[in-house]
Amino acid sequence: MDETTALLVSAAFAILAALLALTALLGAAVAIKPDLLPRLRAATDRRYSMRRATRSLDVPRNIDRILYRHHKLYGTVVVALALFLLYFLAFGEQRPFWRELFPPDYREAASIVADVARLVLWLFTVFALMVGTIVFVRPSALKRLESKVNRWVTARRATYDLDREYGWLDERLGRRPRLWGTVTLALSLTCLIALLVHWQASGLAG
């Protein structure tokens, strides 16, 4: 292990040890004085809504007019990229280098996966070449295909279950703050001692 890596690992150990010590002090304070838990919850409990985080992703943006206005440029770019990918598939490296990263027993399976991926890329590239040519010559011919595939997908449906408040754990902890503090103190001290022992055994503690 070089000096830079050793320094980074030592810094990570020190940060984790400080966080565990702070958590242990917090647990001890709540175990001794349970009235601190409601005040701590009032200062730290915050509601984070996934809808706010994904609001910018949930606004539909229509760029069809721009693409139809500059359809020749768009078609040229798609055709050029498709031709480049075709050249790579036809004359590129037939045996991928990452195949050698697998153990010898799994290289045959890796080759099969690579062949399947190459076949899928061939089909995708031919399709992209056809689409690019049609867009360059007559983009209106893709109206029917566009009406079928152009769908608005909202991120709010995917994150709906994450946008709920779950307070059952806070309620149970609030009923037994002394138990919460004691458990937090015990777990923090256990993790801290294990971390210090591992740090000392690694030879990075000096």
Q: Select from 123, 116, 122, 124 the least CA-distant residue to 96.
A: 116
Q: What pLDDT score does 157 carry?
A: 67
Q: What pLDDT score does 76 carry?
A: 92
Q: What pLDDT score does 155 carry?
A: 64
Q: What pLDDT score does 159 carry?
A: 64
Q: Cβ–Cβ contacts within 10 Å for residue 17, how many?
A: 15
Separation of alpha carbons 91 and 86, rounded Å: 8
- Domain regions of the chain by residue span: 1-47+170-206, 61-151
Q: How many residues does the chain have?
A: 206
Q: What pLDDT score does 87 carry?
A: 87
- Tell me the mean pLDDT per 10 residues along the chain, length 206: 74 89 89 81 69 70 76 89 88 64 73 83 91 85 73 67 66 76 90 85 67
Separation of alpha carbons 195 and 20, rounded Å: 9
Separation of alpha carbons 180 and 31, rounded Å: 7
Separation of alpha carbons 43 and 33, rounded Å: 17
Separation of alpha carbons 141 and 28, rounded Å: 72
Separation of alpha carbons 27 and 37, rounded Å: 10
Separation of alpha carbons 80 and 152, rounded Å: 28
Q: What pLDDT score does 123 carry?
A: 93
Separation of alpha carbons 53 and 184, rounded Å: 31
Give the HSE-up count for residue 15: Cα atoms under 13 Å, Cβ half-sphere: 6
* Structure-derived torsion over alpha carbons of residues 141, 146, 148, 152, reported in degrees to the nearest 10: -170
Q: What pLDDT score does 201 carry?
A: 78
Separation of alpha carbons 170 and 173, rounded Å: 5
Q: Report the chain's terminal Cα–Cα distance, integer Å.
A: 14
